């Protein structure tokens, strides 16, 4: 079917955009993008989206996330929102008794589905976008900037705007390492090397990390591929479990047994 082919083509060609035209995104387009996010499946709809085009706010966000909020005309913060769901439950005379770990899994699912729908809708409307994954670790700053109440937690940032570049679709690991029939199949050493070769070749061909990353070694752009990037990123990431538990608790999301959902009002 023609419509199905169009959707598949949209998915296949999408790539993150990091250069934008100096052109605002009309409110009606923003509403259409968020409404498309709402069409994502799931029962609880435990997400909220806070958007800003304010230059002063985007400048401050740039201090936290890097250059992208400064150069993109619109920043959206997609949040996990237990607060509104619990208002709905209370309106029917009941109380949410699900534990917060369960709530967090479900809320992340809800918000992630909506965020991906938003990105595809934005692409269909001629916008470019790029996800910014540091939002959960910036919960205090996001709470202060956007006035997030208790039981609302930032999941992912998203910059949006009319693109000033047309980057090629980036490579992905071979589908046969992602798709498992009947039982999980652990990749062999040869599978791992094959996947790394596919990823490295595509990103080195584009010069991706030479354009966008400060993690490479000076003068080594021709050697710094995806494999080296993820190896450095995850082998040097500090453990932040206690910090994340503390940040969640400050927003009233309690993952330690016996703690109350007192958070902030």
Let me know whether 200 and 91 are in one domain: no
Q: Backbone phi, then psi, for 114, in 5-degree steps?
A: -65, -45
Asked if residue 156 and residue 32 are part of one domain, the reply reads yes
- Judged against a pLDDT cut of 80, whether residue 249 lies above it is answered with yes
Do the domain assignments include residue 163? Answer: yes
9 and 131 housed in the same domain: yes
Considering the domain architecture, whether residues 136 and 222 belong to the same structural domain is answered as: no
Q: What is the pLDDT, as a whole number, of residue 219? A: 47
**How many structural domains does the chain have?**
2
| pLDDT grade for 134, boundaries at 50, 70 and 90 | very high
Q: Is residue 187 part of a domain?
A: yes
Domain end (from 167, 196, 226): 167
> Is the pLDDT reported for residue 260 higher than 70?
no
Decide if 205 is inside a domain. Answer: yes
Question: What pLDDT does 218 receive?
Answer: 42
pLDDT confidence of residue 150: 98
pTM, two decimals, is 0.91
Q: What is the pLDDT of residues 141-171, one digit of tens each?
A: 999 999 999 999 999 999 999 999 999 999 9
> Where do the H-state alpha helices sit in the chain?
2-13, 27-38, 55-65, 68-71, 82-91, 100-124, 139-146, 189-206, 208-212, 226-235, 241-250
Q: Could you tell me the residue range of the domain that residue 127 belongs to?
A: 2-167
Is the same domain home to 207 and 88?
Answer: no
Band (213; pLDDT cuts 50, 70, 90)? low
pLDDT of residue 99: 96
Q: What is the pLDDT of residue 245?
A: 96
51 and 14, same structural domain? yes
Give the percent of the chain with pLDDT over 90. Answer: 79
Strands 152-161 and 74-81: antiparallel
> What average pLDDT does the segment 248-261 reach?
86
| 8 Å CB contact between 62 and 132 | no
The reply to whether 210 and 127 lie within a common domain is no
The dihedral built from the CA positions of residue 52, 56, 59 and 60, taken in this order, carries a sign that is negative
Residues 230, 103: one domain? no
For residue 211, is pLDDT > 80? no
Whether residue 60 lies inside any domain: the answer is: yes
Q: Which residues contact 83 (CB under 8 A, 6 or more apart)?
A: 149, 150, 151, 152
Is residue 133 domain-shared with residue 47, that is, in the same domain? yes
The pLDDT of residue 209 is 81
Q: Say if strands 152-161 and 128-132 run parallel, antiparallel, or are unpaired.
A: antiparallel
Could you read off the pLDDT of 77-88 as tens digits, one per residue? 999 999 999 999
Q: In this structure, what CATH number is given to the domain that contains residue 89?
A: 3.40.109.10
């Amino acid at each position: 079917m023609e419509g199905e082919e169009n959707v598949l083509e949209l998915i296949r060609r999408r790539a993150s955009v990091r250069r934008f035209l100096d052109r605002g995104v009309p409110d009606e387009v923003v509403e259409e993008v968020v409404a498309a996010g709402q069409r994502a499946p799931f029962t609880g709809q435990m997400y909220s989206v806070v958007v800003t085009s304010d230059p002063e706010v985007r400048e401050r966000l740039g201090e936290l996330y890097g250059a992208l909020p400064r150069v993109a005309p619109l920043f959206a913060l997609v949040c996990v929102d237990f607060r509104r769901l619990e208002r709905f439950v209370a309106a029917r005379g009941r109380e949410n008794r699900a534990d917060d770990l369960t709530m967090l899994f479900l809320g992340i699912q809800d918000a992630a589905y909506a965020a991906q729908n938003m990105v595809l809708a934005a692409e269909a409307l001629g916008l470019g976008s790029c996800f910014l994954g540091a939002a959960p670790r910036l919960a205090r700053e996001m709470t202060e900037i956007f006035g997030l109440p208790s039981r609302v937690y930032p999941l992912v940032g998203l910059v949006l705007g009319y693109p000033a570049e047309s980057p090629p679709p980036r490579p992905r690991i071979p589908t046969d390492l992602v798709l498992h029939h009947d039982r999980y199949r652990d990749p062999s050493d040869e599978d791992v090397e094959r996947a790394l070769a596919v990823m490295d070749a595509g990103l080195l061909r584009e010069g991706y990390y030479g354009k966008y990353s400060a993690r490479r070694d000076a003068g080594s752009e021709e050697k710094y591929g995806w494999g080296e990037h993820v190896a450095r990123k995850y082998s040097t990431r500090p453990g932040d479990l206690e910090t994340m538990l503390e940040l969640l608790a400050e927003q009233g999301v309690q993952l330690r047994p016996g703690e109350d959902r007192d958070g902030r009002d």
